[in-house]
Structures are given as structure tokens and as C-alpha cells.
Structure 1
Amino acid sequence: MVLKQTTQFVSALILIGFLSACTTTSGVRSDDEAPEYGSAADRKIPDYAPDGTASSFQNGPVSEPTPRVEEKSPFGNPPYYEVDGVVYHVLASGHGYREEGTASWYGQKFHGRRTSSGEVYDMYQFTAAHKTLPLPSYARVTNIDTGDSVVVKINDRGPFLKNRLIDLSYAAAKKLGYENRGTARVEVTVLASPGGRQTAANTGGELEIPPMEQQHDNAELYVQVGAFSDEMRADTLAARLREFFRQPISLTPIDVNGQRLHRVRIGPLEDARAAEAILSQLKQYSFGSPRVVTD
């Protein structure tokens, strides 16, 4: 479908400090001539479980983290970032977030490396990586097939493979009983998260609905569909949107980290209900990762 081409828009490169794993295939790589950490080549190197001795958790049982609201980490929380040509918008808050999807896990390959938040990854702690939840957030992850659950601290970005919702540490995956299978069907429920903005229900955390009380007086409400360094791409998307929506479609320039971007927006809109209706339509037509913004 032609509309799906709009998901390939190019936004500004606002990089996360470090990128996490998305695969859990077996095999051990040599460190000789290893690619740069976080590069596309590095992400393609297979991950693997610890050996039998290490995986016995000789230091004793690991406690689940206690959920608490923390300040956003100084790393890993850009407004949006791009990985392998896909742009991800980081949520202002994970409050109210609940989603079902596929969980994978990451282990020995990343053990001892820095996570996106700057913390050192320890595969024997109950942590996780998520693409859009603010760092750090705390969530309960439940194995839908078994009912087992674990509380994790989300302090990393990923997984970046298609149709993956969350990447759990090796310890968390082991507690949910899928470390040998590689993936599991899970439900992710946020327990504590920085900020206080509500997220739209059943969106996978990609669409935001700001509560009306948080909007400034006389603030104009928009749905931003994308931001492009290439003005022609922005103009093409705007033209496609005009075929589906009667609301005004605008292209507005903005400078981000010294780079000129061209934002594609629908609006101004009457209220949050109108914005929610537009978000639902954009989701149906696979128009990127839209979000509600105010001016």
C-alpha cells in the first residue's frame, strides 16, 4: 500500500548514547576486529546465554527492584531518535502504559556494557530495554502463557527487531521461563515512571494524549506526524495527508541541534478528543509515529 511508504520518513539523528540488543540467537563471536559498539554491524552479532557456571547465580537470589518515580536519566531520553532508518518518539511519561507483545532477552554479549541510560548492564539483575518509555521506568512483565511475572527496571533502549515489544535481561527472562525459547508473549504494565502525562490506550506507547489541564491557556493543539531534514519528503507526506483529512496540514521549520527540520502537522485542533480521533486514523493507515503537541 502506498501509504505505508510514509513510515520510511527520515528525521533528525538524535542518538541514544548506546544501543541495546534485539536478538537472542546462539553462538559466540570473537572479539577480534569487533565492530563499534552500537553500530548496525554490532547489533547483528548473535547474543548468547552465560555458561553453566555463571548462570547458576552463585551470589544468591536476585531481588526484584522496588518501583519508584525517579528523575529522567540524563542519557537515553531524547525527544526522538533514529535506528536503522526508523524514528522512535520517547514518551514524556509511561503513566497508564499497558501493552501486550513479544518479549526477547539479551545476555552475555552486552554484560558489562553501558546501557542507554548510562548504567552498566548486568544480565543477572531484573532490568529491561524498551524503545519509547522514559528512562528509568519500572514495569511488571507477565508471561501470558504461564502467568509468571517479574518487576523490572527499564534502563535501556531496544529491541529494534520488528514486532518486539521489550527486551528483558537474562535473569528476568529466566524467571519468566523462556530463556531457552528466546521469546515469549507478555503483558507490560508500567508501575512507576518519570513525568505525569497520560498515554493513549492500546497504542504501544507511540501516541500521546496530553491531559487538557496540562495545556497552557490559548495553546493550540496539533498532531505532529513527522519531522524531516528533507523538505521534499515533508511536502510529500503533507500532500498525502491532505487526501485523508479536512483539517489544515502545515509544514513548519524548526532548528534542532543546529539542523533545520520541517515538521508536518495536522491542526490546530479543537480539543484532545479531535486529536485522539486523528491519532486513531493515522495508526490505522500506518502513518509513522504521530504524537500530540501544543504551540
Structure 2
Amino acid sequence: MQKSKLLKNYQKTLIQKSLVVSCVGVLFSACSMAPISAPTVYYPERDFKSVKHNNTSLKGTMKPYTINGKTYYPTVVEVGETADGIASWYGPGFHGKKTSNGETYDQHAYTAAHKTLPMNTIVKVTNLKNHRQTTVRINDRGPFVAGRIIDLSNMAARDIDMIQSGTAPVRLEVIGFGTSASSGSVHTNSNLGSSGEIADSGHIFQGGSFMVQIGAFRNKSGAELIASRYKNYNSYTSTIQTSAKDGLHRVFLKGFRSEQEARDFVDSGSFPGAFIVRE
């Protein structure tokens, strides 16, 4: 009788332990089978976060300033403007310090310093020696060295392979306008001289088709998901373009009748991180 009772207790204990192990197994299995969330937009929102511009932001980013006795006049530009010059880069010595627009400099972000471009202008930089390209957002002033047109972050400089040389001949092309979380944007038109300084009134870029980039993904499935979701968004259609250089799959909305319409769309805030590009 005693043995039978002990045997029943032993069996009961085994069953309880088995149930615990099974429950734990189910929990881990449930975790491993959790649905995969939609891929994250590659571009960090802190670099491309759209807000509506106003007179305060215009005044704050476009005031003339003087360095070493020379006065610089920030010059408004438009998509498509280009300028050639020598690029340099800055990194560890400035990491964590404040930039000219009040942000904290991050050498690992895709940002740059320019003497006259409006803050938050998005610029494509091409190394004319090796044709490598990178895209940066202007968030600082400089470089204040004769003959230099732009100071790239460490990350951007690595993209175009100019860390060792320190400088490189580059071509800058304005491809869009974004804003940071701490400063406003400038969405006005003028022109940029070949030196990158203020230019005489003359050619102002006209025409061209404009698109708005709403995301960039490492995985093509992520781009396809977003493109499908916004295939027909209001009067606009989505399209995907894959870069041979960095392998990113970029999603654009197209069908804007003018640059101003595209800018108004970005300013609406419908897609945080969106910015304008020219087809």
C-alpha cells in the first residue's frame, strides 16, 4: 500500500515536471515563431525629419557671419545646383561637440559642414578621383581653409575613400531638403556659384521631374512592402530604385507636378524622413 502511494506521488511529480518543460518549450517556440515585423527605414529620422519652415528658421540659418575677418553669406539654393571643389573631413576631435546649428556632432552620421549652403540641405558628394558617392545633410559651417568646399563626417569620408588622403576633389549636387529635430528647414530658391560662395544673379535651375523618397531598405522585401502599400497614394504612384553602389532599395512617390508641390508634400509630415529628389 505504502509502495503504491509512493509510486503514484512519483508519477505525479514526473507529470508536473513534464508539463513545466512543455510550457517552457511552447513559450520559446512561440517566441521563435513570432511574425517578422516590417523592415525598418534605413535613413535615421534624426537626419531627415521634416517640419514646416517659417521665418524664424529662415533667419536662424541664413544670417551672414564672420570668421577670421571674412564675412560669409549663406545662399539659398534649389535642387539640381552643383559645385566643384576640394573636400576634407573632420572626426574624433569634434565628436560630441556642438555644430553651428546647435546639434551634437556625430562623426558616424552622414552630415557635413559647408560655408554657405542652407542648413539641412541634402547633398550628393562625388569623389572625382574614384567616382564613389555619398549623401550628406549640412548641419555645420566650414571648412575655413582656403580652397576647400566641404568638410565631411568621418562616415561620409569613408564612403568615398578619402580618409587616408585627407582631401579629395569632389562635385556637390543639391538633391533635396530635410530638417533635423532641432532646427527648421529652408525651402527657397536662388543659385550657387561654382566656388560654393554667394553667386551673382544668373542661372536659376528650372524644370525637371521631382519625386519624394519615403524610405530606403537593405532588404528588397521591405521596399516592396512599402511600395505596395502606397502604390496609389492620393494622386501619386510609388516606384522602387535599387542602387548599384550601396545595394539600397529606395522607395519614391512620383507624379508631382512641380517642385513646390513636392516640397509642400514633404512639409505636410505625412512621411517623417521624406525628402525631395530630382528624376
Q: TM-score, normalised by structure 1?
A: 0.46
Which has a greater percent of helix?
Answer: 2
Is the radius of gyration larger for structure 1 or structure 2?
2
